[in-house]
Structures are given as C-alpha cells and as structure tokens.
Amino acid sequence: MQALRQLFGGDLPQVVMFDLDGTLMDSVPDLAAAVDQMLALRGRPPACIERVRDWVGNGAAILVRRALAGSMQHAGVDEHEAESGLADFLRCYAGDHSRTRLYPGAAELLSALRAGGVKLALVTNKPERFLPELLADKGLADSFDWLVGGDTLPTQKPDPGALFWVLQQAGVSAAQALFVGDSRSDVRAAKAAGVSVVAVSYGYNHGEPIAAENPDLLVDSLRGHPWFVCDNNFCP
C-alpha cells in the first residue's frame, strides 16, 4: 500500500470510509429493475439500466424523481407522484438484491485493512434499512465498524455531516482518515470534511469522468493497484 502510505506520511489512515454503490458493489442492475417495476406500475416504459446508471448517486428519492422525469433534471416532477413512486420503488427494491455484485478486490481490501487495525465505515446515500441485509448477503456483515445510510442523519453526501459523525465516533482527526468513493458527491463531501479522498474510475458519477473532481488519488480497480501493493502488513 505504498501510494496509500504516501498520503499519510508513511503510515496508514486510522479510519477509512467507503461509499457503497459504484465503489464496493455494482448495484445498478437491481436498482434499475426496481425503477422499471415502479414505472411499469404507472404504465410507463422502462428506463433501462444505462440511464439508471447515470441517475444513481444522490439517494433513492432523487433516483425516483429522475426516473419519473426521464432525466437528471427533475424539478417539474409532481410531489405526490414522487412520494408514491418512492414508496413503490423501495418496496420493489427490498425484494431482490440477487443481481448486485461486489467489485473485484473489494472484499479482500476490506479484510486487509481490518487485519491491519484500520477502522472502517460505510457512508452511503442508500437508505439505511437496506444495508444490514445487503451486506450480509454479499459476505460483508462484519466488515464495518459504522454504517451510515442516506437517511441515518439529517443530511447526506455531498454534505460532509456523515463524515464528521464518523470522525467523532472514531475519535480521530480528518488528517487521520480517508474516504474512498466513485462520485462527485463523495469527493466533494471528503474535501469539505478535510479528509483525503481516493476515487475509483469505474463507478457511476452520472456518466462523467471522476478525474475532473481532482481526488487525491485515482484508481482503476480495488485489486492489484499500486496503492494496494503488498508490503509487510498487507497483501489484498
């Protein structure tokens, strides 16, 4: 983990916070299926997976509004329709996570960090109610010290509130922490909290290159990348 150590003066961070969708897991197939079911209940054509991929990242409520609008821009969506659509989407999504897959190297990286004594937190805009079952289903039930969903606290990313909360729980400063994510919301939340940020290039980010957000480090994979090079303590 040479490049990672370089961000922290030769040491490892004391806390690493991870985004979920588009960072650790490819969840778009299940999200798209739930979106299409919600639209079908309203007699609308399916959105399809590629459009949903660009809409993900700002929580379930915004995803539903974008689906109802058929666009990233959703200001004109009726509030009652948005509320009923969200309820239907959440019901459809709760029933099936079988299409969601971990990205290569994700489980190994989490295990390596935990083995090295690094505390881990999940900070996602996905509703908290889905996290325990989803993590257990993918073999990550015991991977995190803290779970923060999009509705756990009053605000969600890109607001840095969840990151500040984790720092407080862990009793560490921002200089001792790292955030790993795939979207501009992740990078902007980390920067606002004063936390170093690693961005993965394979995620969603509304179809735009995450490099434009200028993360501290950009990686193409969680497996076999120079920032996770084997050393005396880690070998994901």
Name the active-site residue from 11, 19, 145, 216: 19
- Cβ(120)–Cβ(15) below 8 Å: yes
Residues 137 and 178 in one domain: yes
Residues 23 and 41 in one domain: no
Residues 34 and 129 in one domain: no
Share of the chain above pLDDT 70, in %: 93
Residues 6+ apart with CB under 8 A from 192: 158, 159, 160, 163
Residues 109 and 197 in one domain: yes
* Alpha helices (H) along 95-130: 106-115
145 is catalytic: no
Any domain includes 235: no
Closest CA to 130 of 167, 103, 155, 100: 100
Which pLDDT value is given to residue 231? 46
Residues 169 and 182 in one domain: yes
Q: Please give the tally of structural domains in the chain.
A: 2
- pLDDT, average across residues 170-199: 97
Task: For residue 65, give the CATH number of its domain.
Answer: 1.10.150
pLDDT tens digits, residue range 71-80?
888 988 899 9
Backbone angles phi, psi at 173, to 5 degrees: -85, 165
Which pLDDT value is given to residue 233? 43
Does the pLDDT at position 127 exceed 60? yes
Residues 198 and 158 in one domain: yes
Residues 216 and 117 in one domain: yes
Q: Name the band, by pLDDT with cuts 50, 70 and 90, for residue 206.
A: confident
Choosing from 94, 119, 146, the residue where a domain stops is 94
pTM: 0.89
**DSSP letters for 35-92:** HHHHHHTTTPPP--HHHHHHH-SS-HHHHHHHHHHTSS--TTS-HHHHHHHHHHHHHH
Does the pLDDT at position 229 exceed 70? no
Q: Name the band, by pLDDT with cuts 50, 70 and 90, for residue 235.
A: very low
Residues 123 and 224 in one domain: yes
Does the pLDDT at position 12 exceed 90? no
Q: Name the band, by pLDDT with cuts 50, 70 and 90, for residue 10.
A: confident
Task: For residue 6, give the CATH number of its domain.
Answer: 3.40.50.1000
Q: Which domain does 58 fall in, by range?
A: 28-94
